[in-house]
Chain A
Amino acid sequence: MKPLKIAVMSLTHGHTRKYYQTLKDNPKLDWVAVCAENDEVRDIFEVGDHGVPCYMSETEMFDAHPELEAVVLASANIDHLRQVEECAERSINILSMKIPTFNMAEYDRMIKVVDDAGIVCQIELEMHYNPVVHRLKKLIADGEIGKIISVQATNITLSPVWAFPWQGSPEESYGKRVPLNDASSRFRGGALCDHPHIFDLIRWLTNSDIDFVFSEIAPNIRPELEVEDMLLVNGKMKDGTIFLLDPSWSRMEERLKVPAPGWEVFPKRMEVNLTISGEKGILVADCFGPNVYHNGAPNDRYTVQYTYFDEWIGLIDEFVDCIRNNKQPQINLKWHRQTIEAMNSCYKSIASTRAEKVI
């Protein structure tokens, strides 16, 4: 199979650096170029000595590399529609970060331009390529705990805003400045926007869609942020399964400009744990554990050093397979739409203090 000519756009998303190893190692890829959002981002990229050219504008990169077949949209949410349209015009396939947009009119516009251009647009939800999730799905499919009746899931992390400031900006993350509720001085666009995985997972695990959600914000543990960092969500699936989700930034971090060892204040910087009650029993899962532990440099602080398998291997394999063999990715724009609707309904619920139906 001919290697896929691929580039990375913007380099401002927190997951950007997770691609570098796969882009270099995967023989199905030919990493051609990147373009950086600004000089600071370019300088950070160039420290890595990746051996690919870094352009300062998307147009410049596209013009210099007409051979490009695909891009990773590693940008702030507010840039996604413009970049999708630009790629679609050039028939370039897209691997989009996990939130295409929270504006559903924009979302539908993305679906249309992708369909009209006949390109692949895969959404980056890397949990689907996690070996613990593979086992989880198999155990459930094999009927180990019977029909699911309740799911509790965490997607809790440190806050990336110090390294990726757009994630703390209501406009750049949520798309506009919307107060969380009448009593709050904070705005939509924080931890919830960073954590779609568990909304997506409950849909996959139950084979059902989300019926309604209820959500409450808690006092921010980073009071200086304009956006929410602590919230809880519960609700029901259309098949009657109840759920409880925690998508908070509840793990404190050192305020590093570039993620590096010593980022963690709490020993474990990220967790996706599930407790699933079924009619025949209960399953508890830690998707990123067990790990190894140290209290060495730089802070002599007890720290979880992750050992999990590189999920980007499977994610990129699927992306290439879909492009080369004209397939639809598992997580495509149409599938992902209800997940985004559910997250929007959480914000509505925070404002209304009522449970909100998900369309």
Chain B
Amino acid sequence: MGNSFFTSPDKALQYLLEKYQVKQPGSITDDGVLEVDGKGITLLPWRMERRFIELKKIIDDNTLEDISTFRFALLTSSSTASLDDLILQELDICEWLGNSPIARIFAVFHEDNAMNAIVKLENRFSCSVECSTMLPAGAANIDRHEIIARRGVASDQVVDTHVPQSSIYTYTPNNEQCFTDVDAEIFGLSPKNIYLVRASFQVLSEPRLIDEWAMQYRRLLGLVKIARHSETDNKSSNCRGCV
């Protein structure tokens, strides 16, 4: 199977479950939902991205010392995700990388198109979160996750660039293309589906995550709601007690 080319997330998941002899069964529907016993399971698939795992390792291993600020951005097309989806994802990355719950948020919104937030974690890290859905349909996402500390800066963006880079670029008479493949074991799927499969595999391998992620997702929905009200309140909204 080393050279398999997967086109179906579920086939990739079943391959992994069989290979690693995971007992808990589950399947991914055509709509991209993990189902266990006919019930949809909440996933936090971005936590499977290699770059975030490595950034987390850089934090947890104290490669950076005395962290001050996270600078996050996620720009996409409205056909890809809603603004609230983007905010939810970035707030989770704040808490997950920061190893701390969000204490307060002040956010400004332009309808359902764009949001700029300043977030404070309980551990005093500051985070800027910039989200927009104004990329044209079909455009690749633009994002950035930068961590600034007294000792060191870490980022998923190359120094002196301001858009994400790809592994391969082709320039042919047909058109220009770029490719960033991130998983050889379930090669062939898009990055989005790779993370869907990896997150599904993760919760089936560690079933305690089913409740843990569901609880975190509910908390994140609450945080998005709080962010939406902060401008009306004219102050940074307290997130303590948001469960």
- Which residues of chain B are within 8 angstroms of A281 by Cβ–Cβ distance? 134-136
Interface bin, chain B: 35 or more
Instruction: A244 to B128: give the CA distance in the assembly, Å.
Output: 8
Residue of B nearest to A302 (CB): B159
Instruction: A242 to B135: give the CA distance in the assembly, Å.
Output: 17
Instruction: A241 to B159: give the CA distance in the assembly, Å.
Output: 29
Interface residues of B in 22-67 (CB under 8 A from A): 66-67
With A150-B116, A282-B135, A289-B162 already in contact, the answer to whether A240 and B234 are too (CB < 8 A) is no
- Closest CB in chain B relative to A346 CB, distance in Å: 11
- Which residues of chain B are within 8 angstroms of A289 by Cβ–Cβ distance? 160-162
Instruction: A291 to B162: give the CA distance in the assembly, Å.
Output: 13
> A219-255 interface mask toward B, CB cutoff 8 Å, 1 = contact, 0 = none?
1111100000011111110001111101010111000
Interface bin, chain A: 35 or more
Interface residues of A in 265-281 (CB under 8 A from B): 266-268, 273, 275, 277-279, 281
- Which residues of chain A are within 8 angstroms of B153 by Cβ–Cβ distance? 250-252, 266
Question: Are B148 and A152 in contact, CB atoms less than 8 angstroms apart?
Answer: no
> Chain B contact residues: over half helix, strand or loop, or mixed?
strand
- Can you spell out 15 A-B residue pairs with CB atoms less than 8 angstroms apart? A149-B110, A149-B114, A218-B126, A219-B126, A221-B148, A230-B68, A232-B128, A236-B231, A240-B110, A242-B109, A246-B128, A250-B69, A277-B113, A282-B132, A289-B160
Question: Are A150 and B163 in contact, CB atoms less than 8 angstroms apart?
Answer: no
Total contacts A-B at CB 8 Å: 150
- Which residues of chain A are within 8 angstroms of B159 by Cβ–Cβ distance? 266-268, 302, 304
Instruction: A302 to B160: give the CA distance in the assembly, Å.
Output: 12
Question: Are A353 and B160 in contact, CB atoms less than 8 angstroms apart?
Answer: no
Q: Which of B108, B126, B136, B163 is in CB contact (< 8 Å) with A216?
A: B126
Residue of A nearest to B148 (CB): A250
Instruction: A232 to B119: give the CA distance in the assembly, Å.
Output: 10
Instruction: A306 to B69: give the CA distance in the assembly, Å.
Output: 26
Interface residues of B in 86-145 (CB under 8 A from A): 106-111, 113-118, 120, 124-126, 128, 130, 132, 134-136, 142
> Chain A contact residues: over half helix, strand or loop, or mixed?
strand
- Which residues of chain A are within 8 angstroms of B16 by Cβ–Cβ distance? none
Instruction: A230 to B75: give the CA distance in the assembly, Å.
Output: 24
Question: Are B162 and A273 in contact, CB atoms less than 8 angstroms apart?
Answer: yes
Chain B positions within 8 Å of A, measured between CB atoms, are: 66-69, 71, 73, 75, 106-111, 113-118, 120, 124-126, 128, 130, 132, 134-136, 142, 148-150, 153, 159-163, 231, 234-236
With A219-B124, A267-B159, A275-B130 already in contact, the answer to whether A354 and B235 are too (CB < 8 A) is yes
Chain A positions within 8 Å of B, measured between CB atoms, are: 149-150, 152, 214-223, 230-236, 240-244, 246, 248, 250-252, 266-268, 273, 275, 277-279, 281-282, 284-286, 289-291, 293, 302, 304, 353-355
Question: Are A282 and B75 in contact, CB atoms less than 8 angstroms apart?
Answer: yes
Instruction: A285 to B108: give the CA distance in the assembly, Å.
Output: 22
- Which residues of chain B are within 8 angstroms of A282 by Cβ–Cβ distance? 75, 132, 134-135, 142
Residue of A nearest to B120 (CB): A216
Residue of B nearest to A285 (CB): B162
Question: Are B235 and A355 in contact, CB atoms less than 8 angstroms apart?
Answer: yes
Q: Which of B66, B67, B116, B135 has the most CB of A within 10 A?
A: B116
